[in-house]
Amino acid sequence: MSDVKCSLVRIPKTEETKTLIPPAMSLETQEIPMNNLEVYRHRLDCELQRAKARLAELPVGEAIEDFDIRGELYGLACEIAPRARQGDLLAMREWMNIRGNERIVDLAAGTGFFTKDFLSQTAGEVIAVDPSQMQLGVLDKVCAGRARLLLGSPDSQQDMSVISDTSVDVVSSFGGLHHVADQRTMLEEVARILKPGGQFTAADVCANTALARHFDEFVAAKCLTGHTAQWLDEAKLRELASGLPLQLERVATVPLTWKFASPTEIALFFKGLHAYDLSEQEIIEDLKAALGFTTENGLICLNWPMVFFRFVRI
Ligand SMILES: C[S@@+](CC[C@H](N)C(=O)[O-])C[C@H]1O[C@@H](n2cnc3c(N)ncnc32)[C@H](O)[C@@H]1O
């Protein structure tokens, strides 16, 4: 039983697209042998050249922040460092506290890193919303076809209209809300689809932090497709939710770290994640200066603090 239309146009299964699919993510540590990193270095360079060629074909003046162009690089990043973001999953699990039968909507779901984890926690339906067909194509594979796909944007009443009023237990999002152009309309849609007592639990880069500055200064300048963002913080969240039946129940900065086995793994991961046509040394130097590294159990930990928040539908 579902009121969600699948508007995804499936990507043909070619040898090439098969390689985009991140391997099964697990919470166990996996070592990536150096020879694999050499293979990934080559694949990233090929994808960067391909992305540059596609960008060169775009008409002058066309908006270029395009997750379809970056989608393949993003998929490679997930393959290169599958354990890097395990702390993100654990933090979201703690904040969401899923009981097992919830119907969950994942906004800006991307390639399904969280969607797949939600599917492991609930017997209810999981709906992934994202405007990038390429990202949803990867997500569909990562989630073995078990998530419902909604190609669209959470600030579009038309796109979201396929989800009924008060039909959802949990709305979630990680790392994508800053892309949403009309964040007030997005919150109105969240309030509309949530059941009374339902939760909207999400995390994103917090406004006026070193991480937001890193995106605004370095990523915006060096990512092949640029980067624009409207960062959130507690004051902005309260302002956006003003007059809506959403109560901000919990908000906090969580000092997440992303964990890597080697500087090479870090550089290649970010080459894919942020579509950098840069030397590995430039990538590492920027991250070190902007965000800082620590070490833990032989792993290199990159500081990646995020603001987490939970609204409850009243
Ligand atoms: C940094 S990724 C986060 C993906 C995923 N949540 C994760 O943690 O791996 C950001 C995602 O936001 C999506 N996005 C871009 N513009 C958007 C918009 N206006 N509304 C919703 N999502 C958007 C992109 O397609 C991309 O998949």
Q: Within a domain: residue 29? A: no
What does residue 3 show for φ and ψ, rounded to 5 degrees?
-105, 15
SS3 154: coil
* 308 belongs to a structural domain: yes
CA distance 141 to 147: 10
Q: Which amino acid is at 37?
A: L
Give a yes or no: residue 9 inside a domain.
Answer: no
Tens digits of residue pLDDT in 40-50? 999 999 999 99
Burial of 186 (0-12, 13-18, 19+ CB in 10 A): buried
Please state, in angstroms and rounded to a whole number, the distance separating the CA atoms of residues 40 and 46: 10
Quick one: pLDDT at residue 28? 37
CA nearest to 78, candidates 13, 132, 6, 141: 141
> Does ligand 1 have an atom closer than 6 angstroms to the CB of 264?
no
Q: Is residue 3 part of a domain?
A: no
Pocket test for ligand 1, best of 106, 133, 151, 179 (most atoms within 8 A of CB): 179
pTM of the model: 0.88
Digit-coded pLDDT (tens) for 145-162: 999 999 999 999 999 999
Residue 1 belongs to a domain: no
Cα–Cα distance, 84 to 78 (Å, whole number): 9
Asked if residue 118 has its Cβ within 6 Å of ligand 1, the reply is no
To test the pocket of ligand 1, the residue of 73, 130, 232 to mutate (highest count of ligand atoms within 8 Å of its CB) is 130
Establish if 97 belongs to a structural domain: yes
For the chain, give the percent of residues with pLDDT over 70: 87
Domain of 213, in residue numbers:
15-24+34-313
Cβ burial of 161 (10 Å; 0-12, 13-18, 19+) is middle
CATH number of the structural domain spanning residue 47: 3.40.50.150
Classify residue 205: in a domain, yes or no. yes
Domain count, the chain: 1
Give CA–CA dist 134/90, Å, rounded: 26
Distance from residue 65's CA to the centre of ligand 1 (Å): 11
Instruction: Tell whether 166 is covered by a domain.
Output: yes
**C-alpha atoms less than 13 angstroms from C-alpha of 262 in its C-beta half-sphere:** 12
Burial class of residue 18 in the structure, from the number of CB atoms within 10 Å of its CB (0-12 exposed, 13-18 middle, 19+ buried): exposed
- Give 126-135 pLDDT, tens digit per residue: 999 999 998 8
